[in-house]
Structure 1
Amino acid sequence: MSGPVLARRGFLSGAAGLAAALTLAACGDGGTSTQATPAAPASSGAPSQGPWTFTDDRGKKLEQPKVPTRIVAQVGAAAALWDFGVRPIAVFGPHKLKDGSRDPQVGNVDITKVTGLGNVWDEFNVEQYIALQPDLLVSSMYVNGTLWYVPEKSRDTIEQVAPTAGVMLTGKSATEVIGKYEELAASLGASMEGVPEAKARMEAATKELAQFKNLRILLASGGADAFWVVNPPEYPDIVHMVNAGLNVVTPSKVDEGGFFQTLSWENADEYDADVILYDTRTQALKPEEMMKKPTFAKLPAVEAGQLYPWSAEAPFSYQGYATFLEELVANLKKAKPLQ
């Protein structure tokens, strides 16, 4: 989906900003963070050795004399790496809810043990990032070459501090994305604890999806003034569902960018569906809020109670997808065709 509304402007960009920030860091002024700087290593697996190389999805070959241990990651990337056994020292992107609890997007990451560099779109504390002396920054990409949640205005500064690795999401299956994070985690000496068992669970749940091929499924996200119908080829999780045999609605006309079709709430009945999977992210409307929209409330799937959660940003790990797919299977077993 499109990024949330910009929350606030950053204050550093370009080489001049980097120089100023380095001066501040040298003086001990690391800026404000949500957590103290942790001392944990990047992984709990093999000790760091070198040299280290990794080619990311931009085709960029990263090379360092030693395996990176001080890793900063966008929350989606952090969630994936954490499940493989890599322990980032800091995260950016939605990781903490208003009540202080963990945002679902950060997965199993222990947010009390990582530094928070920013919690909303366009928020990235560059001074604090520099003070952490990172070895590597990792982020997913929806557009090749654009690291998710790295502010454009600070990108040049951020990329001068440490190497960056990007993992592409758009146009790939979940299996491909998980495989890339697995490759990266292995190169970082990850423990891989629990991975074989989780992979088996994911594969078993995936096989079960084929039994629901007679259900017409629509995936959507609700906003105050719009109803977004997602376009399956652009999302790794939905590509995975389709490859497994699910019949997912494809919008006939998608917006610029290709990720979804925007409909008014009056036109929320544009597509027929037996099941609606709704976006569970914090910025999306909750089911009870969408039910206040008359057209949505009258949809056959909604009236039949066949409205189920869609974890739109489940961690790209075998653990993350095993849980996501098992819950999906359990919900679809309750549904039936409506036409």
Structure 2
Amino acid sequence: MVSTLSRRTLLGGAVALGATGLLAACGRGGSPTSAQPGSGAWTFTDDTGATVTLDARPTRIAGLNDAIASLWNYGVTPVASFGFTGLADDVNFRGKDLTRVTEVGTTYGEIDIEALVAQQPELIVTHAYPKDSSGTLDPQKPLYGFADLKQQQTVAGIAPIVTIAMSGSAADVVERTVEFAQSIGVSQEALEQPRRDYDAARERLRAATASGLSVMAVAAYPGEGVYIAKAPDDPALLSYTELGLNYPDPGGSDYYWQQVSWENILDHRTDVVLYSLRAMSGADMQQQPTFAQLPAAEAGQVFPWEFSAMDYVAQARTINNLAEHLEGSRKVT
């Protein structure tokens, strides 16, 4: 099962090896521009290198749950959504009035085209994930959220697609998302308090990591064992290590994950374990005899690892949660 999946699958989605046929390598796009003086036109160069130009700044925006969650946190309510789950099951939409959005897809790769057309989107936003540690995008794979290139092309015929690459550090992806949000009209004033909260959360985590507690993030399955994420390949984990988090290299040559059998999980001892919300729960993992013998498990230092949207609001929440977990934990290895 997992051999055919990607990093984002185990965190909360399905195949996440996205790109368009425009570029094979991921580089941040050119400078975004909103309305051009005197023309009313709007243009944005995304992370695949594609430049989207519209007659006016878009106001009806649809897209991948992960991407539109960030826009909503900045005050831009999307008209339609699609993704791995329904919005009610996505932590990034807690507290939102979900009646304001038409869900045109609640299972990965399944999009109701007619329902999407009915919402008359002017722009669709999604993500692309690299295929290796260098950040390379695969032009032969669909962007994240689409079943295949044919479906992606059909959707692109409804409205242009803007892509933000999920590569490098989350700190950079967050800022890139801000650039896009500002291009569609989010004001600097609207971003000020969320940015302060985000910066404060990062400083809190920086202080919490001073304890030196070691951490590993995993996705586990009863018949397959434990998949340990590699921090350099996950934007969020990479950003935490930049703030001082002690995240041991699990080894192995595969991209993103190191698969470990239940029998061998005791070779990977950390003070804290974070478990994916899209895989076995912490309680279920504790039922595995070997996992239960891990120092973190014996100490009750096993906490949720949630995928959070790449914006100031969502990241501040998740970073504060991680800091709280570290603040309440102790050295056990």
TM-score range, shorter-chain basis? Answer: 0.7 to 0.9
Give the paired residue count: 289
- 8 Å contact 2:109–2:145 — kept in the other structure? yes
Q: What is aligned with 1:337?
A: 331
The answer on 1:196 being equivalent to 2:192 is yes
Q: Mapping of 1:305-316 within 5 angstroms?
A: 305-311=300-306, 313-316=307-310
The 8 Å contact of residues 282 and 303 in structure 2, kept in 1 or not, is answered as: no
Deviation of 1:76 (Å): 0.4
Does the Cα contact within 8 Å between 2:40 and 2:56 map onto a contact in 1? yes
Contact 2:45 2:52 in 1 (8 A): yes
In structure 1, what residue type is equivalent to 2:326? Answer: L
- Provide the alpha-carbon RMSD of the alignment: 2.2
2:278 matches 1:263: no
Give a deviation string over 1:254-296, Cα, whole Å, max 9, x none: 43xx12112222222231211111112xx31111111111111
CA change 1:194–1:52 in 2 (3 A) is: closer
Which aligned pairs between 1:118-133 and structure 2 lie closer than 5 A?
A: 118-133=105-120
Q: Write the letter of the residue equivalent to 2:55.
A: P
Q: How much identity, in percent, do the aligned residues show?
A: 31
Residue aligning to 1:228: 227
Whether 1:216 and 2:214 are equivalent positions in the alignment is yes
Answer yes or no: is the 8 Å Cα contact 2:85–2:108 preserved in 1: no
| Alignment partner, residue 72 of structure 1 | 62
Instruction: Pick one of 147, 160, 180 that aligns with 1:163.
Output: 160
In the other structure, the counterpart of 2:146 is 150
Q: Which residue of 2 aligns with 1:61?
A: 51
> What is the distance in 2 between the residues matched to 1:315 and 1:179?
12
| Aligned residue runs from structure 1 range 32-111, under 5 A | 50-96=40-86, 101-106=88-93, 109-111=96-98
Distance in 1 (CA, whole Å) between partners of 2:321 and 2:13 is 32
1:165-180 matches, cutoff 5 A: 165-170=162-167, 172-180=168-176
**In 1, Cα distance between equivalents of 2:8 and 2:191:** 31
Q: 1:336 to 1:6 in 2, by over 3 A?
A: closer
Aligned-residue offset at 1:303? 0.2
Return the TM-score normalized by structure 1. Answer: 0.79
**Do structure 1's residue 184 and structure 2's residue 196 form an aligned pair?**
no
* CA 238–108 in structure 1, closer or farther in 2 if over 3 Å, else same: farther
Residue 258 of structure 2: SS of its match in structure 1?
strand
Which residue of the other structure, out of 309, 313, 318, is the alignment partner of 2:312? 318
Partner of 2:19: none
SS of aligned partner of 2:105: coil
Contact persistence 1:78–1:88 (CA under 8 A): yes
Letter in 1 for 2:110: E
CA contact (8 A) 1:107 1:315 kept: no
* 1:138 and 2:130 correspond: no
Asked whether the 8 Å contact 2:84–2:145 carries over to 1, the reply is no
CA shift, 1:249, in A, is 2.1
Distance in 1 of aligned mates of 2:176 and 2:13: 29
Name structure 1 gaps, 5 residues minimum.
8-48
The 2-side partners of 1:299 and 1:259 are apart by: 22
Distance 2:188 2:96 in 1: 15
Match of 1:34 in 2: none
Query: TM-score by structure 2 length?
Result: 0.80
In structure 1, distance between residues paired with 2:86 and 2:107: 9
- What's 1:328 paired with? 322
1:241 aligns with 240
**How many angstroms apart in 2 are the aligned matches of 1:334 and 1:2?**
28
* Cα displacement string for residues 110-152 of structure 1 (whole angstroms, at most 9, x for unaligned residues): 3211111111122111222223222111011113354211121
Q: Which amino acid aligns with 1:300?
A: P
Going from structure 1 to structure 2, the CA distance change for 1:6 and 1:108 (only over 3 Å counts) comes to closer
Query: What is the deviation of 1:235?
Result: 1.3
CA distance in 2: counterparts of 1:114 and 1:269, whole angstroms = 45
> CA offsets, 1:79-107, max 9 Å, x none?
1111112111000014537xxx4421445
SS at match of 1:130: helix
Point out 4+ residue stretches in structure 1 off by more than 4 angstroms: 4-7, 191-194
Structure 1 SS opposite 2:266: coil
User: What's 1:38 paired with?
Assistant: none
1:299 aligns with 2:273: no
- Aligned-partner Cα distance in 2 for 1:110–1:261: 39
What are structure 2's unaligned runs of at least 5 residues?
1-6, 15-38, 131-136
- SS of the aligned residue for 1:175 comes to helix
